[in-house]
Each structure stands twice: as C-alpha cells, then as structure tokens.
Amino acid sequence: MRSGYDLPTSIEINGAEYNIRTDYRNILDILIACADPELTPYEQQEVMFDILYIDGESIPLSDYREACEKAVEFIDCGSTEEKKKSPRLIDWQQDAGIIVPAVNKVAGKEIRALEYMHWWTFLSFFMEIGDGLFSQVLSIRQKKAKRKKLEKWEREFERENSSLVKLENKMSEEEKETIRNMEKWL
C-alpha cells in the first residue's frame, strides 16, 4: 500500500503493475482531450489510455475497464470519491496563460523549463495558488456559476478582461454547422 508521500509511477491492475507517464504535461494533454467535443467518450478514453500507459498494449482487454478507472483515480491524485457534477470553471487549454504563472509563483520556478514534474506535484502547487490573476478569474467564474452578485470591481474586471473570464463554449464541428445553417434562416 502506498503512502500519501509517494509519487506513483505505475498502476496495479488485476495484480499486475503497469508503468505510466506521470509528467504533468501528459496529464494536461489527457484533460484537454477529454474536454474536446470532437472526440466521443470512447475516443477520449482511448486518448487517456494511450497517453497514460507506457505499455498499455500489454493490458488484457478484460482489464481495460479497471485500467480506465485506475487512470482516472491517478489523475485525481488517488482519490476514489464520487465527484458530483459541477459547472466547468477551468479550461486547462484556454487558461494555460494564467495557470502557469500562478503555479510558477507557488513553485518558485519556471515549471515549463523543467524536464519533468510529476502530475501530483504540479497539482499540489496548483491547489496552493493564492491571490493573483488566476484566482480572481476563478472567483468571478464561481460567482457567476452560482448566480451570485459580483462586486463593482469584479464587474469592471470582467468587462476589461472578458477574454480571460469567459470560458469558450466548445462545440463540435457538427454543432457549429447546425448553428450556421440555422442562422441562414434567421
């Protein structure tokens, strides 16, 4: 059994150990793919599986479900708690420009220059982000999601930084085409 102080580099599936890619960039690629409306849920799982498992082709098909569950558990830093559905507040791709400086501040170094950083280390830094641009943007998004009134300075900040605060509505090409066709008739 692993302790909370270990940084796992493999996942046990049905009694066998499988090495995984643990660098934070790999996991961010998985999270970005899982938010891609062009990919089906099956394709998103395939991307997760292919990126995370170094020797994934050696995992028996009968263990595929467990491998996917353990992958999600790893991405969630070992948590197996059932997460309740909540509004989307972060887009790892769109927010990269404000997340990286905030994580750099906590880490005390430029994380992109590092050859390797374990995902759990990155997420630990991320969870400790304090006051700053990212936390302001996140706070406004949270208030808006809960339909809470924004302070005057928050409304002004949102107006002046709408491209930072507003999350892009990701749509598949099919959805975009449907909207374009509907607009022709309006």
Selected residue with higher pLDDT from 170 and 64? 64
Which pLDDT score is estimated for 1? 46
How buried is residue 53: exposed, middle or buried, by Cβ count under 10 Å (0-12/13-18/19+)?
buried
The pLDDT of residue 86 is 79
**If you write DSSP's letter for every residue of 86-151 in order, what string do you get?**
------TTTTHHHHHHHHHHHHTS-GGGSS--BHHHHHHHHHT--SSHHHHHHHHHHHHHTTPPPP
The pLDDT, as a whole number, for residue 169 is: 76
12-47 pLDDT tens trace: 999 999 999 999 999 999 999 998 988 999 999 999
Task: Provide the percentage of residues in the chain whose pLDDT is more than 70.
Answer: 88
> Which pLDDT score is estimated for 82?
73
Which positions ≥6 away from 129 have C-beta within 8 Å? 102, 103, 105, 106, 135
